Amino acid sequence: MVAKPDHIEFADGTTIPILYEDRAVLVIDKPAGWMLAPDSWNRTSRNLQRTLERSVKAGDWWARSRQLKFIRYVHRLDAGTTGILLLVKSPGAIHPYSRLFVGRHVEKRYLAVVRGVPAQTTWTCELPVARHRRLRGVMKVDLREGKPAETRFRVLEAGPDRSLIEAQPLTGRTHQIRLHLAAAGYPILGDELYSTRPHLVQPKAAGKGSTPPSRNQQSILAQPARTRLDVPVASAATPSDTVPALALRAVFLAYTDPFTGKKVQILAPFDAFVRAYGFKPESVPVLEWGLTQSERASACA
């Protein structure tokens, strides 16, 4: 019996590692530059969902070896974000897995490299997030009309001018981590959108009848704008050609299988990502996430 390939391969030679698979899902290590929901037709050549569907329909070996007839994402990663992306393998799995994400029953951890060194080693941001009314695909912090958003942050390691951050989003708003870090004054390296547009992350005071900012929100908004976003991230040197332009990687996902009740934990390799920015992989606290040392070693080998 021929073994199933451990990666997806498209006709153009693009390969995408498969991190985990069972009867219902296929979890991949999404590369940078692929969109799941393109904002305009001129970007459809990098539409990951469409390319996956075409590959399945064409009977490419990775899909044919699995007798795969269907593939669909149930949550999203930004085009520039790399790492764990869960895909379902049948229409019947869409609702159960979508409900996990919408109901906040999935634990997610990201690694981000930011400009600057936070004064606090841990903090939580609860600034609400809304879509920009005029700019397609752009979000903003909005105290009046934004939806609730919450992200926990922890500094794992700090250098002279940048820091390695663990981000744990408790809600799933678009661009949530990017907005919350930029609002705190520590934009992600390579995030040209939110590092150079302070009006998107520095909201005006809430109007009459609006919910007043929390103490956490007040402390973030009180930071001087000059010290928060004074240097465009675009000027930062990229450590390696292999490093994505946006220094944000989804590295851990945990949930309870809605069909079997089994606890599933998935870890994406992160050693190369961390080292490329001058940090130590040992700084990433995977054992605190519930993984064993052997699981960490096998995932990042």
Instruction: For residue 216, give the H/E element and its range.
Output: helix 215-221
Q: Which amino acid is at 9?
A: E
Q: How far apart are the first and last CA of the chain?
A: 26
* Ramachandran area for residue 135 (φ above 0: left; ψ -120 to 50: alpha; else beta): beta
Query: Tokens 């976003």 sit at which residue?
Result: 229
The one catalytic residue in 6, 12, 22, 78 is 78
DSSP 134-180: SSTT-EEE-TTTPBP--EEEEEEEE-SSEEEEEEEESS--TTHHHHH
Provide the β-strand partners of residue 16.
8
CA angle 218, 220, 226 (to 5 degrees): 125
Gyration radius of the chain over CA positions: 20
Cα 72 to its chain centre, rounded Å, is 18
Question: Distance (Å, rounded) from C-alpha 53 to C-alpha 50?
Answer: 5
- Exposure pattern of 113-142 as b/e (b: 16+ CB <10 Å)? bbbbebeeeebebbbbbbbeeeeebbbbbb
Our answer to whether residue 29 is catalytic in this structure is no
Q: Which residues are catalytic?
A: 78
